[in-house]
Structure 1
C-alpha cells in the first residue's frame, strides 16, 4: 500500500483552492493506493483563533459540505484509489471537553484523523507557534527563551497524548516536531533530544501512530521532516507505526519528498 494520509483541500482557509480532483488524479498517477484528506477541523467551541488572519480552522458551516463532497468522490474513484474522509484536530490546552464533544459528534462520519498541536498556552493567552518566524520569535521573548518555547511545546504535545478526548480521539500524532519549523530563523541550537524521546516513549506506550510529515523539508527555516530523520529510524525501531503525510495545502506539494523520507529511513 502506498499511502499519503495528511492532505488538505480547497476547504482550507489558509490553503489554495486547488480542487479535490486534482489531488486525487495526481495521487493515482503517482501510484498511491490510499489517501486521506485531513482538513483542519473547526475550532473547539469557545476558542477564538489568535492568528491575525483568523484562518487556522475550517468554518463550522463548511464541515458538512466538505464531508459530503468527499463521500461523493470516495464513490466516484472507488475503483482507482481508496479515499479516506478525515480531519486534523487541534489539541488546545483547556479545551479538552469541548474537543471531546466535537469528536463525539463528528467522529462517526470520519475514516481517519490526526491530532496536532499548533497553539500554546502561556499566561492565559494562546499563540500559534507555526504562523510566522516573526511571531515565533516574539513569543519566545514573552515566555523568556527559545528553550522554554520548546519545553512548552513538548509538554503540550505529551498532554495531547494523555488527554481523555473520548472514543473517537485520533490515534495519530501530527508533525511531532513542528516546533522546529523556524529553527534556522531564530538561530538557537536547542537540545530537545530528551523531550523527543520521552514523547516517542509515550506514543509507544499508548499505541499511537506517528505522522511522518515531509512538509518541514520544504520550509526555508526548517529543512528537515517532522520528526528529523534520525528519530524516524528510532520510532521505527521502537515499533511505532509510521504513516506518511505530505501535509499538502496545494496540489504542487502533494507527496513532496516521499521517496527521500522513505529511502533515508
Structure 2
C-alpha cells in the first residue's frame, strides 16, 4: 500500500451519544453535555435510535412522541449552552427492509444534524421476535450460534448495503460491531468482499465512516477493525469520531487511542 496522508480526525467532536429516551442509557441529556464540556469536547451530536416495526422483548428506540421530547429538550440545551459547546440532534436509523419506505419518510420529516445507519435487528422467519445481533441476552446469543455467525454476518452486511443505497444518510455506524459478544468468530473472504462493496458504495454516496470507540472495552479495539479502516482510507472515505456513549462519563471515551492507529 502506498503511503497515505493521515486522515483528518476531529477529536474534540463526539458524533454518537445516546440519551435515556432510548430505554437503555443512563443520565440526562444535560449530564452528557456537561460531561463533554469537562472532557474538552467542543461539539456533541446526540444520535438516538429510530426503528420501524421491530419486535423484541423491550423497546430500545424512540417513538415519534419521544423524538418530539428529544428535540424540545435538545433545543433548550442548545440555547442554554450556546457559546460553550455545539449540540447537534441526530438519529441512528436501524434498517428494516420490509418497512424501508416508512423509515425514509420518518427521516425526511425532521431536520437532523446527522443521520447514521445501523442494523441491530434481523428478521428470523420461524421466530416471532427479531434477532438482536448487538444484544448480550442469552436468548439472542444462543440463536446467533445456532443460525451460524458467518451467514448472519453476511446478512447483516447485505442489510447495511441496502440501507446505504436507500436511505438519506450521512454516515455509517460501528460497521463490524454486530455479534460483538460472540467470541471466536472472524471475518471471512466473503465478508471482506461485501465490506469492500459497502465501502465503495459509501464513497459514491459521499457518506462518512464512523470510528466507534465503544469497541475498546468490548474487544480491545475500535469498530471497525484496523484493516477495514485502512481499506476505507485507501478509498478516500472521510471518518467521524463517535463514542456511542450510553453513560455521561463515556463521552469521548478512548479517543486518545486512535491517532496511533494511522501512524
Scaled by the length of structure 2, what TM-score is found?
0.87
Counterparts of 1:15-164 in structure 2 under 5 Å?
15-16=25-26, 18-41=27-50, 43-44=51-52, 47-50=53-56, 52=57, 54-106=58-110, 108=111, 110-123=112-125, 126-132=130-136, 134-143=138-147, 145-163=148-166
Alpha-carbon distance between aligned partners in 1 of 2:162 and 2:86, rounded to the nearest angstrom: 32
- Alpha-carbon distance change, 264 to 9 in structure 1, aligned in 2, over 3 angstroms: same
SS at match of 2:35: helix
CA positional deviation for 1:223: 2.9
- Is the 8 Å Cα contact of residues 212 and 222 (structure 2) preserved in structure 1? yes
- Is the 8 Å Cα contact of residues 134 and 179 (structure 2) preserved in structure 1? no
SS at match of 2:117: strand
CA positional deviation for 1:23: 1.6
SS at match of 1:181: coil
CA positional deviation for 1:22: 2.1
- Is the 8 Å Cα contact of residues 93 and 120 (structure 1) preserved in structure 2? no
SS at match of 1:202: helix
Q: Report which structure shows greater RCO (CA 8 Å, sep ≥6).
A: 2
Alpha-carbon distance between aligned partners in 2 of 1:48 and 1:190, rounded to the nearest angstrom: 27
SS at match of 1:158: helix
SS at match of 2:87: strand
- Alpha-carbon distance change, 230 to 70 in structure 1, aligned in 2, over 3 angstroms: same
String of CA shifts for 1:97-139, please: whole Å, max 9, x gaps: 1111211222x3x222211111113337531111126344433
Task: Name the structure 1 match of 2:260.
Answer: 263
CA positional deviation for 1:90: 1.0
Alpha-carbon distance between aligned partners in 1 of 2:181 and 2:197, rounded to the nearest angstrom: 22
Gaps of at least 5 residues in structure 2 are 1-9
- Alpha-carbon distance change, 56 to 35 in structure 1, aligned in 2, over 3 angstroms: same
- Is the 8 Å Cα contact of residues 118 and 128 (structure 1) preserved in structure 2? yes
Aligned length: 248
Task: Note if 1:11 corresponds to 2:11.
Answer: no
- Is the 8 Å Cα contact of residues 6 and 37 (structure 1) preserved in structure 2? yes
Scaled by the length of structure 1, what TM-score is found?
0.86
Alpha-carbon distance between aligned partners in 1 of 2:146 and 2:16, rounded to the nearest angstrom: 32
String of CA shifts for 1:26-48, please: whole Å, max 9, x gaps: 2122222211011112x32xx14
